[in-house]
Chains A and B, each alone.
Chain A
Amino acid sequence: MNDKYSKYETLVRAFHGDIYRYAVWLIKDATIAEDVVQETFMRAWKSLDSLQDEKAAKAWLITILRRENARRFERKQFDYVDDIEDIPLVDDTAINDGEPEQQALHNAIQSLSDEYREPLILQAMFGYSGEEIANMLELNKNTVMTRLFRARNQLKTLLAVDPLRGQYNG
């Protein structure tokens, strides 16, 4: 049992930051994100024996988190699903208010639909390949690459990048 605890502690200390950051951007509410992260790691503890490849631990945790988040929506049933989309990211301390480009980028990311935002975050935050993201999201690779293309295309439009100067106009 101590081996299991040691493995779990290593998992928590190594990945809690990445998993929390991913949850915040996925859920768009820092308080709820922390709760979902707690549920995720409790679920991970219960299923720790099923983690055979420790190199895949982060992807495994992301998959658990996505399921826990889906359960949250199931619990909310139908009346709350629409409302949660309107909740702004509570913890905006990552954004430097003095830099309008960052604020514009933040707003643009948040305005993307879930199907575009999620693969984009997985790729940009963790460097996952299209194939890895496809496995996590249970999509085919072409669909993922199309969504990534559309996500960045929308970002580019929203930010009104000047192709000659490479600067944000918004």
Chain B
Amino acid sequence: MDELTFRRAVLADPQTRDPEVIAAAKNNPQLHAFWSDIKAQDNALIKMLNATPVPNNLADKLLWQNQAQTSVAEFSPAKRQRPWYYAIAASVVIGLSATMLYLPTKDRSILDAAYAHTQHKHVFEILTSTTPTLDDINAKLSTFGGELAQGIGEVLSANFCSIKDHQSLHLLMGTQDNPTSVFVLPKHVDMGQLQEFNEATAHIIEFDDAKILVLGDVAETVSSIALQIHQELSF
């Protein structure tokens, strides 16, 4: 094996066990040293890549998200030992099933799904809250072509989600005791008339390129946030 072929083979796969590569290194100290250097670099690379920290509770969050979007309609997981917040989520879902009966319009499924998602998120965010920066929020808003001119108060989280198969950005705002949800939805989503049901209040803001749904339990807070959104958000 010539030197060029050896170097190409080693650089393409430093962990190679190719007998020809091994033999070439054995017979040439310079090639052996070169291989050792590349292996050292590769071992550092492997160590660094695999040391990337994974968020706490990511697995639970993924399972939670799956349950939140599918549990009501699709499946009921087997009984097993689960974290306590699964029990809370289940009770919320059961409670919602009665609440949603009062929604009057043909498009209520969007609001149903958004409301249910909101309730799940509220519980989850109490467990694992991360505070996005304005840049984080704008990076995600840009997928809808939107931008916030400045901060709109306390934002607990900003996550993409799916509401009845519509891609949405869900901002959870306010405080953990009084959270309000802001959903950014594509403009083609038909949410029907302005809704108000039980303790939750819904405001819909229509922009040229998107629709905003604001959901919360306190009417004053929802109105205030809706006004801020209207003033600070542009598409």
- Chain A residues in contact with chain B, CB under 8 A? 1-2, 4-6, 8-9, 12-13, 16-17, 20-21, 24-25, 29, 31-32, 34-35, 37-39, 41-42, 45, 72, 75-76, 79-80, 87, 91, 93-95, 101-102, 105-106, 109, 120-121, 123-125, 127, 130, 145-146, 148-149, 152-153, 155-156, 159, 161-164, 166
Interchain CB contact under 8 A, B12 and A21: no
- The verdict on B136 contacting chain A, using a C-beta distance below 8 Å, is yes
- The verdict on B109 contacting chain A, using a C-beta distance below 8 Å, is no
Interchain CB contact under 8 A, B11 and A152: yes
- A-B interface contact total, Cβ < 8 Å: 139
Give the interface segment out of B34-42, B97-105, B194-202. B34-42
Tell me, in angstroms, the Cα distance from A94 to B66 when the chains sit together. Answer: 28
User: Which residues from 60 to 79 on chain B have a C-beta closer than 8 Å to any C-beta of chain A?
Assistant: 61-63, 65-66, 69-70, 74-78
**Nearest CB in chain B to that of A90: its residue:** B136
Interchain CB contact under 8 A, A155 and B41: yes
Interchain CB contact under 8 A, B48 and A106: yes
Contacting B11 at CB < 8 Å: which of A38, A39, A124, A153? A153
With both chains docked as a complex, state the minimum distance between the C-beta of B141 and any C-beta of chain A, in angstroms: 11
Interchain CB contact under 8 A, A32 and B33: no
- The verdict on B8 contacting chain A, using a C-beta distance below 8 Å, is yes
Tell me, in angstroms, the Cα distance from A29 to B62 when the chains sit together. Answer: 19
User: Which residues from 132 to 160 on chain B have a C-beta closer than 8 Å to any C-beta of chain A?
Assistant: 132, 136, 139-140, 142-143, 159-160
CB contacts (< 8 Å) of A146 on chain B: these are 12
Interchain CB contact under 8 A, A20 and B37: no
- Chain B residues in contact with chain A, CB under 8 A? 8, 11-15, 30, 33-34, 36-38, 40-42, 44-46, 48-55, 58-59, 61-63, 65-66, 69-70, 74-78, 132, 136, 139-140, 142-143, 159-160, 162, 167
CB contacts (< 8 Å) of B45 on chain A: these are 105, 109, 120, 124, 155
Interchain CB contact under 8 A, A149 and B8: yes
Tell me, in angstroms, the Cα distance from A74 to B162 when the chains sit together. Answer: 17
**Nearest CB in chain B to that of A39: its residue:** B160
24 pairs from A and B in contact (CB 8 Å cutoff): A2-B77, A2-B78, A6-B78, A8-B63, A8-B66, A12-B62, A16-B54, A17-B54, A20-B54, A32-B140, A37-B58, A42-B69, A45-B66, A75-B143, A80-B142, A93-B53, A105-B41, A124-B45, A125-B50, A145-B13, A149-B12, A164-B33, A166-B33, A166-B37
